[in-house]
Amino acid sequence: MPFVVLVHPQIPPNTGNIARTCAATGTELHLVGPLGFEISDRYLKRAGLDYWPYVNLHYHQHLEDFRAFQENHGGRLIGFSVSGSCSYIKFQFQTDDWLLFGSETTGLPPEVLALCSATVYIPMAQPHVRSLNLSVSAAVGLFEARRQLGILEG
């Protein structure tokens, strides 16, 4: 099953909402620091409601820590970016993909994009809208990967 990775998230409610999505789908959530908030932030907890015990959460203080963990487990790094080279719908996801999402303000850093096996984007019909909310983007990407892999139902 794919993994969700948030690299330097800044807004607690977005991370809380993504954690809730991960809890509902049984998806591992990886947070890569530095974060723009404390893990104990009340807004983070409120957004995740009482689902935190069901989140398979991994915190990596630095990108290097995450890379060591990911390399040990294998799989491709798939970066979601407005500058991605392929629409996420046309991309063929695999069960051990790591779906990477960057911070709300800057997206994935160039050094992270350079590590990715592929970069994908979510098409926008309105050219003046650069991107979706981080929690929406993560849900869209995760559910498309799950749909393609035939694991939408639990």
Mean pLDDT by 10 residues, the chain (154 residues): 96 91 96 87 62 90 97 98 96 98 95 97 91 95 97 74
Q: Give the type of residue at 13.
A: P
Residue 49 belongs to domain with CATH number: 3.40.1280.10
CA distances from 112 to 5, 49, 75, 93, 101 (A): 12, 30, 15, 19, 10
Q: Which residues are annotated as a binding site for S-adenosyl-L-methionine?
A: 102, 122, 131
116 close to 77: Cβ distance less than 8 angstroms: yes
pLDDT value of position 127: 86
pLDDT value of position 130: 83
Range of the domain at 43: 3-149
Q: Which helix (H) or strand (E) holds 144?
A: helix 134-149
User: Which residues on adjacent β-strands are paired with residue 29?
Assistant: 4, 57
Q: Which residues are annotated as a binding site?
A: 102, 122, 131
- Taking the C-alpha atoms of residue 1 and residue 47, their distance in angstroms, rounded to an integer, is 24
Domain assignment present for residue 124? The answer is yes
Tokens of 34: 């530095």
pLDDT value of position 45: 66
Global confidence as pTM: 0.93
Q: Which helix (H) or strand (E) holds 139?
A: helix 134-149
Domain assignment present for residue 39? The answer is yes
Domain assignment present for residue 154? The answer is no
CB count in 10 Å sphere of residue 55: 20
Number of domains in the chain: 1
